[in-house]
Structure 1
Amino acid sequence: MNLKKMITDYSAYNLSANRQLVNWLSNQPEAELQKEVPSSFKGVLPTLNHIWAIEEMWCAHLFKNQDAVNRYGVQDLNSQEVFEGVLHRSAVIVEKVNQLSDEALIQNSYIKTPWFEANISVAEYLQHLFNHGTYHRGQIISMAHQLGFTEIPSTDFLFFSLTIANQ
């Protein structure tokens, strides 16, 4: 497997996993999505909003998107807005990744933010982005268990890979 295929597959997986999570969460009671549950963030919706915020940030840095939305500090969260926002940005990432050449993926990019300073390859930043989403989706699943949600989807990369391999 080459780097381009791996990153392209992970971008598609990220969108698919976010879509599964959003589709499932959209059938949960709004009050439960807004309920405070101890974790890195204060609950399901704030954690999903964080995934969206980070995807916005990386689109702005890596792809120079001028339409990136700053989600930091947003307290009054509307579930429909968060659902649509995270899915939209994940789809844009798929588009942008599909347009990258092998050379662009291995190109180093210097980025300085309030949290870190780095000069690593675009592929490494993207791999971080996809791992970050996986980490926080796992937190959402843990919070959902605490809230008594059922029929929780499996968003593992392996199951995604097996699905696309059988198509």
Structure 2
Amino acid sequence: MQQVTSLSPMTSLMQNYANYNLWANDRLVNWLRTKPEEVVQREVPSSFPSIQKTLWHIWEAQQYWLSILRKEETAQSYSECNGSLEDTYSGILAQSKELADFVGAMSGDDIHNTTLIVSPWFQSDFQNFEYIMHVVTHSTYHRGQITTIGRNLGFTDAPMTDYNFYNVMGKQERN
């Protein structure tokens, strides 16, 4: 059933997309919690050398982009993955919720306003919805890497985290 909303289509889409990111990260983490810790932390050839380190990267990238959306000072360096695996799981989920809550509270104007970024790597002055799309797409990319790393480690039961699956089935799970 289609929900009727007074939000602009773009605002509604961005809020849905941020909620999807939280849902997908939650499904992934809950799946990984069923796996042996030493396997989740095992180093393998990949852009980030373990599942835990890939999760850590997603978490830090989401923190960075949330600080951009909040127009806060951003840390421009990434830290070494430290802490327990459970700290990583809890941290990425708390941060994903923080991102979803922030996007959920953004007005249509906030979604469409531009934010200037000047960093050592790039400069941009895009509308905020572009940054929201980027952070969720970035997380999705790395969730796919985690699934592939897991497959190479013998995990054959990865959860479905596709956006369409969220829209069809995932929203019902959240209610």
Superposition TM-score, scaled by structure 1 size: 0.91
Cα distance in 1 for residues equivalent to 2:165 and 2:14: 17
Report SS of the residue matched to 1:118: strand
Matches within 5 A, 1:1-167: 2-64=9-71, 72-163=78-169, 164=171
Structure 1 stretches (4+) deviating beyond 3 angstroms? Answer: 68-71
Cα distance in 2 for residues equivalent to 1:75 and 1:5: 34
Deviations 1:49-68 (A, max 9, x none): 000000111111211468x8
Report SS of the residue matched to 1:109: strand
Specify every segment of 5 or more residues in structure 2 that has no aligned partner in the other structure, as ranges.
1-7
* Higher alpha-carbon deviation: 125-134 or 77-86: 77-86
The number of equivalent residue pairs is 166
Specify every segment of 5 or more residues in structure 1 that has no aligned partner in the other structure, as ranges.
none
> Residue 95 of structure 1: CA displacement?
0.9
RMSD: 2.1
Superposition TM-score, scaled by structure 2 size: 0.87
Aligned sequence identity (%): 34
Report SS of the residue matched to 2:82: coil
Amino acid at match of 2:86: Q
